[in-house]
Amino acid sequence: GVFWGAFTLFAATTASIMSGAVIERIQTVGFVILAIVLGGFSWTLAAAWGWHADGWLVQNWGFHDFGAAGLVHAVAAFFALGVLINLGPRIGKFNADGSANDIPGHNMPFTATGLMLIIVGFWGFLMACLVVGGEAWSWGSNFSTIYGTPTNLGALSFNILMSVAGGIIGAWVMTRDPFWMMSGALAGIISCASGLDIYYPALTFIIAISAGVLLKPAAGIIEKMGIDDAVGAVTVHGTIGIYGVLLLGIFASGYPAVLGDNPPTVSFVGQLVGSVVFIIIGLGTGYVTSLILKMVGMLRVPEAAEIAGLDTVKVPAQAYPEGIAVSPPASN
């Protein structure tokens, strides 16, 4: 029951990752169908292959992804990328010459607060990847990873903190932008998630800084490809997720990928194979599902509905003060 609940939460997380990329122009029914496919099939397939001690990626290639940087974050992000290809950009995002316009968020304080809530939630999210006891007790550890390898709460707590700090610093140095600074915290965590059970804190800090530095330039490349990712979800979760998975193949090379006698060991090639598999699963299922929805008219809202705003059209409600009619002040 505990695992069912945890995996249901992870399924919802994949849908939340996709949601940020496709906001402001996707149909509700289309999004729900996509969320079911992503959370009920795409990521669970990746988890069965790479987040289980008996998964073929683990047993045959020594794949290791403790914090699910690849099999949750990257799968969801590349699924979103497949959807974005068929969904198209928001009205006004790109000019006739292909140049992009910046569409800023409505409320920077709320944006920063939301990102900080997500960052705090990562402590719970990643701690939930631990198993109490298990075979790792024979190694002198009270906690084990989903692969059966030992770790402890102190290592995870400090590594998560260092990854947040490093990501914030790297992104702020590159952008001086509060939005990207807070997104850098997420990028820092995701870049280190695969190896939080293995890394030393100093290495975690360095990896996270590099992820923060790469964040905005990587988002710029995706934008130049004509992809309108409203919140940078493909970059934060996809590009940085794969980056973190591959770095584990370098820094943890030779480390046991799973508990057991003569276990498969982590390698760069194994992490690369896992990354390619996750990209194919995410991008393939996202593209095909959204293409079918597009063909039957269930993917994108009409232009008039997008201009009016989905709050008004779909709920209907006015979420922001500027949408509320104000009576003129009474005369003296």
Task: Note if the bond before 263 is cis, omega within 30 degrees.
Answer: no
What average pLDDT does range 250-274 have in this prediction?
Answer: 94
Torsion angle of the four alpha carbons 287, 289, 293, 299, in this order, in degrees rounded to the nearest 10: -60
DSSP 68-117: -IIIIIIHHHHHHHHHHHHH-PPTTSB-TTSPBPP---S-HHHHHHHHHH
- For 226, phi then psi, to 5°, come to 85, 15
H or E segment at 131? strand 131-132
Residue 183 makes CB contacts below 8 A (sequence gap 6+) with: 115, 171, 215, 231, 232, 236
Q: Name the average pLDDT for the chain.
A: 90
What average pLDDT does range 197-213 have in this prediction?
Answer: 96
pLDDT on residue 49: 96
List the one residue out of 194, 207, 105 whose CA is nearest residue 162: 207
List the one residue out of 81, 80, 78, 52 whose CA is nearest residue 65: 52
Q: Are 41 and 8 in contact (CB under 8 A)?
A: no
* DSSP-based three-state secondary structure for 132: strand
pTM: predicted TM-score of the whole model, two decimal places: 0.92
pLDDT on residue 326: 53
Per residue in 85-142, pLDDT (tens digit) is 999 999 999 999 889 998 888 788 888 899 899 999 888 888 878 876 555 545 555 7
Residue 298 is given by DSSP the state -
pLDDT on residue 125: 83
- Put residue 24 in one of left, alpha, beta given phi > 0 → left and psi -120 to 50 → alpha: left
